């Protein structure tokens, strides 16, 4: 794993874990509460923002695990630390992520969108 990504993930884990409140439990993603999700495709980056290098590109429908909400927003959606393709880590924008089972604050919509409904692109 990229050294800078390891540092960012460690720092994010400490700050996000301390921000968890009982009223958000189960809806906000933290290291203690990872959530199975999907990607509408798009770029995975080494940090939570468009200025970070691309480390992978995901296909539409590819499964991911949301590990932490960074609370760093772009266009109304936060960046998430994700695990993908086994144990790879990276960051993806919530506007191109979807939830599978439980509502998740900051992702675009459910992975079971209506047939023919457009997915948001970006990230």
Reduce the DSSP state of residue 94 to 3 states and report it: helix
Say how far apart CA 106 and CA 7 lie, in whole Å: 23
- Map tokens 């691309």 to a residue: 54
DSSP H helical ranges for the chain: 3-19
**In this predicted structure, what is the pLDDT of residue 111?**
85
Query: What is the CATH number that goes with domain 3-21+31-110?
Result: 2.30.30
| Alpha-carbon gap, residue 15 to 90, rounded angstroms | 17
Domain extent listing, the chain: 3-21+31-110
Phi, psi of 51, deg, nearest 5: -80, -10
Q: How far is CA 13 from the centre of its chain?
A: 14
The pLDDT of residue 23: 44
Q: Which residues contact 25 (CB under 8 A, 6 or more apart)?
A: 33
From first to last of the 123 residues of the chain, give the pLDDT tens digit: 555 555 566 555 554 444 444 444 446 777 788 999 999 999 999 999 999 999 999 999 999 999 999 999 999 999 999 999 999 999 999 999 998 878 888 998 888 764 445 555 556
Q: What is the pLDDT of residue 6?
A: 56
């Amino acid at each position: 794993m990229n050294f800078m990504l390891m540092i960012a993930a460690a720092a994010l884990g400490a700050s996000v874990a301390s921000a968890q409140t009982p009223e958000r439990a189960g809806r906000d993603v933290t290291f203690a509460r990872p959530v199975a999700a999907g990607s509408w495709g798009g770029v995975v980056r080494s940090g939570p923002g468009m200025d970070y290098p691309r480390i992978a590109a995901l296909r539409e429908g590819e499964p991911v695990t949301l590990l932490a909400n960074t609370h760093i927003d772009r266009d109304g959606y936060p960046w998430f630390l994700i695990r993908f393709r086994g144990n790879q880590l990276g960051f993806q924008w919530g506007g191109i992520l979807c939830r599978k089972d439980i509502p998740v604050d900051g992702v675009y919509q459910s992975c079971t969108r209506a047939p023919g409904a457009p997915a948001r692109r970006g990230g």
